Structure 1
């Protein structure tokens, strides 16, 4: 087969979700035809009757044992594949009722509260301080500011026109929201949950400077005459040429993480090359990572959780932002590392069910109220 242009794991996941694009479906078919083992694995992953029977075998066990048995045995002869494949099947069965085989008279606490996944939405603060909710607007003009039109085109914020002076807008994504905008220079920006960006509605000065908090992915339009500057959480400034990069600057993460996909970017005095990552810690010390996991960095933008090598605390920080919850650990934090990927498009209780099935997951969850998740051993 030629050069790989798609991530097979993501294509299998999208197949389970029913969201494959035509070109992705064609690539998946070619991958299945490449080796007999590929086709056999695909059939095993997607055959409802076969999986149904396997799940029935575990019905006599309690829910805890059944979950762990399913995760460990669904694909016992394929150690090369991540556990997420089995987890994806279980998530799929949860969504259509396949786990009815496991129901007992008293369901577990985490199944009693259904918290939906996040979705597209944001708050736009205009130059005059007024705010516009963008959660339900797909198309249309939302504001006129000093000769500039702000409008939504297919769910993305765009600007048209030139203002008389320097006017600033701010876009904020609360917990459980993401949004995309296009700046007046053609730069595209995706905001993750609990993030913000402040920017002029036209770049009239000698540079193009924006300010961010949280996490954002940039595809910067090239303009050699006007460098693109990103002030990150009031702690550092990135100098950018035409480039694609991701910045993670959440306050509760150990470092500001800047990952370069294309082009060039300067972090302090270090110029990153494509495929490199810079970690700036709380003491202003910079560490260069040569080969970061790009799929993991970009998972949020692609609608996935990537928990490869993640601790329980790291996983919970992501869930807090996406599901708009607060996580509290009662007692010592369990020492466990997870692996694999899963879609961000399923309810919280299904994510927790999958995590509980991971080997070594000897902790329990329960909800207090609607948004407080308690974790204990």
Structure 2
């Protein structure tokens, strides 16, 4: 019998995608032996493989893939037409053979999990990554920092004649403290979310603010003299309290852009790695300024700089507020940037960036492993490495 130790080494190299052209035929020859097929079956994630082949949509594609893999393993190519065997069986065979167990799957009748041998020489297990949550810090006027996620519900902090109250639903409110002098200097506060965090707050004028991951807002503890000006970074959604004659102004950090409103609901995406500040209006009217230009938005419109579009899917823009990743029509880079912010990942691409546009949606409450299985079903293959590094293969 061939040497089991040598086969275990080939398994490790195959999983790590480090087999040389000379080693690949040797690997497939090992798999001609039922004991080694069984040995290898315990080393793969069948759920992931079964999801992956669901994306193959036609007979020709499945047949070509199947024959290409057979040739890669120096296994004789069958002349049986694809139609006679059934394309779904070819697709399944191709994907499973790519993992090294096609012969096992189609010659052994028992389910793989029933016959799998004990795992031998497994690669180190990388811990799964949980989803993000309500997490932020509050930076006070004296630069002291309050971790909001660990602050007890009902706790209060005094700032500029206002009482900052930590509510029980993952938010903070600014309420009149009935202390201090109206002429006191009003300190500026900031709320900042890390990668993997979101948070909600209510400003002193009653405006509600939601911060997505890796975002921030800086604002006075109390608005005075009709001046309602804040600055933001990242992605922030506003429901601005009406105050006739007192516009609400949002400055975008590190840009010359700002948004001016009276009372309205709107979303600003100003992540620097997205390239352009996008303002989406849900209700009311806003004026968006960038450089020397400005535009007015009506509900349902979106501006990218000062370019206005009516073709905007509001539900997709606001999906993060509903706890959903919306992938519809986005390319793989856009999707992975969102995942990187929510799961605090570093994305590393292989030789080339996959040219794929995705569809569908996933809940933001899923562990990363579950999201990666869903992406695999859409032909996006990723592998989590130590140090929260996500490798993406073409």
Aligned to 1:16: none
Distance, in Å, in 1 between the alignment partners of 2:320 and 2:122 is 28
Residue in structure 2 matched with residue 346 of structure 1 by the alignment: 366
Q: CA 1:141/1:61 → structure 2, altered by over 3 Å: closer, same or farther?
A: closer
Query: Once the 2 structures are TM-superposed, how far is the Cα of residue 374 of structure 1 from its aligned partner?
Result: 1.3
What is the aligned partner in structure 1 of residue 167 from structure 2?
A: 153
2:268, 2:307 → 1: CA distance? 15
Alignment of 1:219-234 (within 5 A): 219-234=239-254
Pair 1:243 & 2:264 matched: yes
Superposed CA deviations along residues 141-197 of structure 1, whole A, max 9, x for unmatched, are 231124321111222111122662221100000000000000000000000000000
CA RMSD in angstroms, aligned pairs only: 2.5
| Greater mean deviation of Cα atoms: 344-353 or 146-155 | 146-155
User: Which shows bigger deviation, 148-157 or 125-134?
Assistant: 148-157
Residues paired across the two proteins, number: 283
Unaligned runs of 5+ in 1: 1-59, 74-100, 281-285
> Hey, what's the Cα distance between the residues in 2 that align with 1:150 and 1:201?
9
CA distance in 1, matches of 2:203, 2:138: 13
Unaligned runs of 5+ in 2: 1-43, 58-110
Q: Residue 133 of structure 1 corresponds to which residue in structure 2?
A: 147
For normalisation by structure 2, the TM-score amounts to: 0.67
Q: 1:107 to 1:365 in 2, by over 3 A?
A: farther
Displacement of 1:69: 4.5
- Supply the distance in 2 between the matched residues of 1:198 and 1:233 (Cα, whole angstroms): 10
- 1:113–1:349: 8 Å Cα contact kept in structure 2? no
Contact 2:160–2:222 (CA<8 Å) still a contact in 1? Answer: no
DSSP 3-state at the match of 1:346:
coil
Structure 2 equivalent of residue 337 of structure 1 = 357
Stretch deviating more after TM superposition (268-277 or 102-111): 102-111
Deviations 1:87-113 (A, max 9, x none): xxxxxxxxxxxxxx7767589989843
The TM-score with structure 1 as length reference comes to: 0.70
Residue number in structure 2 paired with 1:123: 137
Task: Identify the residue that residue 321 of structure 2 maps to in structure 1.
Answer: 301
Go from structure 1 to structure 2 and tell me whether the alpha carbon gap of 1:340 and 1:318 turns closer, same or farther (over 3 Å shift). Answer: same
Closer/same/farther in 2, CA of residues 223 and 146 from structure 1, 3 Å limit: closer
Aligned-residue offset at 1:331? 1.2
Would the alpha carbon gap of residues 260 and 61 (structure 1) be closer, same or farther in structure 2, given more than 3 Å must change?
A: closer
| 1:247 Cα offset (Å) | 0.3
